[in-house]
Amino acid sequence: MQETPEPAASGPVMIATWPFGKLAVDAAAEKVAAGGSGLDGIEEGIRLIESLGSDGSVGLAGRPNAAGYPQLDACIVEGPTRGAGSVGGMEGIVHPITAARRVMDSSRHVMLVGEGARWFALEQGLETVDVSDLAAKKAAWVARDRDPEEPAEKGHDTITLLMLDGNGDLYGGCSTSGAGGKLPGRVGDSPILGAGLFVDNEVGAAGATGVGENVMRYSATTVIVEMMRQGMHPQEACEAMVHRIAAVDPLGYQLDVCFIAIDKQGRTGAAASNQRFPFAVGAGGRSEVRSVEAVERP
């Protein structure tokens, strides 16, 4: 098991994917320090990354689909209430994480997708961009010749942010523009509870980034949390999940998946299948970027 030093235990403890996750951690910490809830912090941190379009993989500045426009996925979870909201394949809404929170707070549903998700976001008064050109892009996509064997994956990152707040409650959220060049209508793991994100307020939380199909086929974050329930350290659980998938998947370790986790004690962990994985941690008003190498194969 790779060693990941624990952050200081004072105040909220957070972990986020990729180097740009440090910006999310800092924004979340500032929000909580100003009196916001843990959920407010998650939303604020992810909204910042959506605004920045970090790494060309989050928000409307993220990678377009095969028809030339972005479709966004996001979800948010509140551990103490077991509340959750999710949006998938949403077009033109600037902050999908806020749309996901509104689904949780202002509807009787957990997940909305496509046009319905956009309509709901607009009813909620969320910020949008002009999508009047999308009809032509969609028509052009349907009409054009295309190779069904052409690879769709052209980059794929996600901002996933997990928090254990000062009260010992857990929160999480994630947001992405998905795999570049994906078929219109493709939804990855990020808005799927138990795949891209899972939070159990009694145990811990886990999140994912990478090729969504290789996460969602194994309900990976649910399994990571269940491993922690059985006593595994978050680091051990993340690594074990990579090995578990690689043992049965035709791709072996060439999965392009990474995991992060945090438990009820504020311990954190991260693992990657076949690459060096930088991630951010924060606690006590401090944050830093760390990294783990690809898991050691048996």
| CA distances to 52, 68, 156, 268, 296 from 163, in Å | 21, 34, 23, 10, 28
Residues 164 and 170 sit within 8 Å (Cβ to Cβ): yes
Contacts of 162 (CB under 8 A, 6+ apart): 14, 15, 16, 170, 171, 172, 199, 205, 206, 207, 260, 261, 262
DSSP string, 206-245: EEEEE-THHHHTTTHHHHHHHHHHTT--HHHHHHHHHHHH
**DSSP state, residue 8:** P
Helix (H) or strand (E) holding 31: helix 21-33
Residues 22 and 282 sit within 8 Å (Cβ to Cβ): yes
Query: In terms of DSSP bridges, do strands 83-90 and 111-113 run parallel, antiparallel, or are they unpaired?
Result: parallel
Q: Which of 259, 225, 222 is nearest to 242 (CA)?
A: 259
Q: Which one of the listed residues 4, 98, 158, 209 is annotated catalytic?
A: 158
- Look up 158 and say whether it is catalytic: yes
Among all residues, which ones are annotated catalytic? 158
